[in-house]
Amino acid sequence: MSALAALQTRMDYVFRDEALLQLALTHPSIAHEQGAPIQHNQRLEFLGDAVLQLVLTRELFEKFPLFNEGPLTKARAQLVNRRSLAVHGRALGLGEHLILSRGEEIHGGRDRSSALADAYEALVGAIFMDGGYDVARAFIQREFDLAFGSLAVIPVLDNPKGELQELLQERSTEAPHYHVVSTTGPDHDRVFECTVHHAGAELARGAGKSKKAAESEAAQAALERLRNEQAAR
């Protein structure tokens, strides 16, 4: 079995045009080293990024009907960030198949996260070109099935305070208010407890090693409470 055949087995997809797979694995450093207009994977990376965005947007749109654009955008960004895509690239073993310049090889290009993420996007683009949208979507669904299958709620939010304010603004123009209700522990190991209020009512509480962390925990708890109430209606 050839090296590319083994890779295609791991992918659960066999290319009709294997040249597309080779192109997806060709790092731009090859062209720079040769000083010639050699084709590399950046164009396929551009295409694959768009296909990933479309497929994952549809999955999030269908799986989380109660969420608006803001949280869905952040969830999608989390799924397709460079670190996440590099993890997928490593899982497929793309590094061992990359076609690199000698300099890139010497400097650890096969395990470089940016190279793996780019190659993964290029691979999606190559599948789309070789098999069409439905085939590419099936591949992406298989790849991200664990992430979607394990999600009972939207992926962890980077800014729960901002998300809470956005959610509450759908109901009124009043912003949420945060209050520190207690501070315990010695100076070197303080624990802050904070409440978040809206429209005169306490929504939730949170605790943390700083005021900011406590507010963030309170906002996250409030988000979960409000979304559970929405889901129960």
Contact partners, residue 157, CB within 8 Å, separation at least 6: 71, 74, 163, 220, 223
| CA dihedral angle for residue 113, residue 147, residue 8, residue 117, rounded to 10 degrees | -20
Active-site choice (45, 49, 118, 130): 49
Enter the tokens of residue 225. Answer: 């409470």
Residue 121 annotated to the active site: yes
Q: How far apart are CA 98 and CA 37, in angstroms?
A: 18
Residue 189 annotated to the active site: no
Give me the residues paired with residue 197 across strands: 177, 202
**Kind and range of the H or E element at 210?**
none
In eight-state DSSP terms, residue 187 is G
- pLDDT score, position 147: 67
* Residues constituting the chain: 233
pLDDT digit string (tens) for the chain, length 233 residues: 467 999 999 999 999 999 999 999 999 888 776 666 788 999 999 999 999 999 999 998 988 887 778 778 878 877 888 888 988 999 999 999 999 888 888 888 888 888 899 999 999 999 999 999 999 999 999 998 876 655 545 555 457 888 788 788 877 888 899 999 999 988 878 889 999 999 999 999 998 888 988 898 899 889 888 877 776 66
- pLDDT score, position 157: 46
Residue 13 C-alpha from the chain's centroid: 23
- pLDDT score, position 231: 63
Tell me which residue has tokens 């690239």: 89
Q: What CATH number has the domain spanning 3-149? A: 1.10.1520.10
* Domain at 160-232, CATH class: alpha beta
> Which whole-number Å values give the CA distances from 155 to 46, 115, 135, in the listed order?
25, 25, 26
Domain ranges, ordered by start, for the chain: 3-149, 160-232
Active-site choice (121, 130, 143, 217): 121
Enter the tokens of residue 220. Answer: 């996250």
In eight-state DSSP terms, residue 93 is T
Among residues 224, 116, 91, 230, which one has the least CA distance to residue 171? 230
- pLDDT score, position 233: 61
